[in-house]
Amino acid sequence: MDQVRVGVIGLGMGFSHARSLAARQIVGARLSAVCDLNPAKLDEARATLPADVKPWSDADAMISSGEIDAMIIATPHYAHPDMAIKCLSHGLHILIEKPAGVYTKQVREMNRAAKNSGKVFSIMYNQRCNPLYKKLKELIADGELGEIRRMNWIITNWYRSQSYYDSGGWRATWAGEGGGVLINQSPHQLDLWQWTTGMMPKRMRAFCSFGKYRNIEVEDDVTAYAEYENGATAVFITTTGEAPGTNRYEVTGDRGKIVIEDGKLTFWRLRVHESEFNREYTGGFGEPECWKCEVPISGDNPQHNGIIQNFADAILHGTPLIAPGEEGIRGLTLSNAMHLSTWTDNWVDLPLDEDLYYEMLQEQIANSSIRKTVKEIGPVDMSKTFGTY
C-alpha cells in the first residue's frame, strides 16, 4: 500500500477532517468516501468535495464495500465503540473522535477488539501535538520537576450559551451525549492531565453540578479532587458557564513548578530539591533559591491534521502513534469517576467499579429528556443520529 483510502463517517465534526483529506493536506492518504444519514449533509458533500469521493447513507454498506482502508469515526459518543468494532471486524484501520466512548465498560470491549485485530487504532487527541504539552511531558519524564506533588488545572474557558445546547436535541442529555462538560468539552484536558504526568490517581472525590448555569440535564460545573499513590494530589475545575474563562495548568514537584497559561510555559526551578533544602536548612524562615525560567517552545501545532497524518504514517510506515486509541480509556476513567463520585456522594477508588457506573448511567438515561428515542433505538446505537454531531 502506498496510499491509504480513508472514509469519514459523521459529517458534523467529521466534515473538517474530510475537507483536509480532500485538499490533500495529509501525505499518503486520500478521501475515498463519506457517510451520513442526513440528506442535507450528503448534498453538501456532493457539492463541496471532489467528484471521486463517494457519498454513502448506509454505514454498513460503506464499511463492507472494500473501497476504503481506514475509517475516521466522528459520530456521537455512544456510537464510537460499536462503530469501531464493526470497522475492525471488516479489516479497517480506525481513528475515532474523542471521547473514546461514554463508559469504560464499553470502551474496554473496543480496546480488546482493536488489540485482536492487529489494525492501527488511534484517537483524536490533537492537543498531544501542542508543543507546550509535549515539552511539559518531556520535562516531567526527564525528572526536571523531581517527584510530582501537586497538579491543578482550571479549565473554564469552555463557555457555551443556551442557544448552543438548544441547537441539537441530543446535546447535553444523558441519552444522547452521555454527559456534559466532562464528556464533550474537557476530554482533551483529562487526557493531557494523565498523559503529561504519566500518573493516574488512586481515588477521587468530585462535585458535579447538573444544569447549574443552563437548562440542561447534564453537568456544566465540576470541581474534583484526586489523590495518588505517591502522596500527590490534584484539583480539576471545569465549567461551560463562566465568562471570561481561564485555562491554567500547574504542576508542582520536588524541584519546582511549571505553569502553562496564555500560550506560555514557565518553569520556576529550585536550585536544590525542596526535600534536600528542608533536610539541611537550619535558619528558620527561608526557602530554596528559585529561578524563573521562560522555557523556549519550538515547533508548530498541527492539531487535527497532525493526528490524521500520524495515523496515515502508522498504517503506511509503522510510525508510532501519538495518540494510541487504547489510551482513550484513561481520560474517560477520570470523567466516569467524577460522575460516580457525585452520584454516590462519596469517594471513588480506581480501578473504577465499571458495573456500578454502567448501572447508575442507565438510571440517568431512563430519565433523560430524549428517553423515548433511546427506547426506540437503544442507548448505544446513536449512529442513527450521527448526522447531527
170-212 tens-digit pLDDT:
889 999 999 999 999 999 999 999 999 999 999 999 999 999 9
Same domain? 176 vs 269? yes
Task: Give the strands of the sheet with 121-123, arranged side by side.
Answer: 54-56, 29-35, 4-9, 70-73, 93-96, 121-123
- Report residue 199 as a C-alpha cell: 500518573
Q: What is the DSSP letter of 310?
A: H
- What mean pLDDT is predicted for residues 330-336? 98
3-state helix, strand, coil in the chain (%, to 5): 40, 20, 40
Q: Quick one: what percent of the chain has pLDDT higher than 70?
A: 95
Q: Quick one: what percent of the chain has pLDDT higher than 90?
A: 93
Strands (E), the chain: 4-9, 29-35, 54-56, 70-73, 93-96, 121-123, 148-155, 203-210, 219-227, 233-239, 247-253, 256-261, 264-270, 290-294, 348-349
Q: What is the CATH number of the domain that holds 228?
A: 3.30.360.10
Distance, CA of 251 to CA of 134 (rounded, Å): 14
**pLDDT interval class at 371 (50, 70, 90):** low
Instruction: State the total domains in the chain.
Output: 2
Tell me if 97 sits within 8 A of 212, measured CB to CB. no
Same domain? 111 vs 66? yes
Strands (E), 37-84: 54-56, 70-73
Same domain? 100 vs 148? no
Span between the terminal Cα atoms of the chain, in Å: 32
Instruction: Give 229's contacts (C-beta < 8 A, 6+ positions apart).
Output: 202
Same domain? 72 vs 210? no
Grid cell 431512563 in the structure block, residue:
366
Same domain? 177 vs 189? yes
Same domain? 21 vs 77? yes
Same domain? 351 vs 308? no
110, 69, 106, 74: which is closest to 90 by C-alpha?
69
Tell me if 226 sits within 8 A of 243, measured CB to CB. no
**pLDDT tens digits, one per residue of 77-134:** 999 999 999 999 999 999 999 999 999 999 999 999 999 999 999 999 999 999 999 9
- What mean pLDDT is predicted for residues 244-259? 98
**pLDDT tens digits, one per residue of 306-324:** 999 999 999 999 999 999 9
Please give the residue range of the domain that contains residue 257: 128-299+331-377
- What mean pLDDT is predicted for residues 150-154? 98
**pLDDT interval class at 369 (50, 70, 90):** confident
Distance, CA of 274 to CA of 286 (rounded, Å): 11
Grid cell 498504517 in the structure block, residue:
315
Helix/strand number for the chain, H first, E second: 13, 15
Grid cell 474496554 in the structure block, residue:
108
Same domain? 221 vs 345? yes
Same domain? 246 vs 364? yes
Same domain? 153 vs 249? yes
Tell me if 145 sits within 8 A of 139, measured CB to CB. yes
By the 10 Å C-beta count (0-12 exposed, 13-18 middle, 19+ buried), 21 is classed as buried
Total residue count of the chain as it appears in this document: 389
Cα-Cα-Cα-Cα dihedral sign, residues 101, 105, 111, 113: negative
Task: Give the strands of the sheet with 256-261, arranged side by side.
Answer: 290-294, 264-270, 256-261, 247-253, 148-155, 233-239, 219-227, 203-210, 348-349
Same domain? 235 vs 335? yes
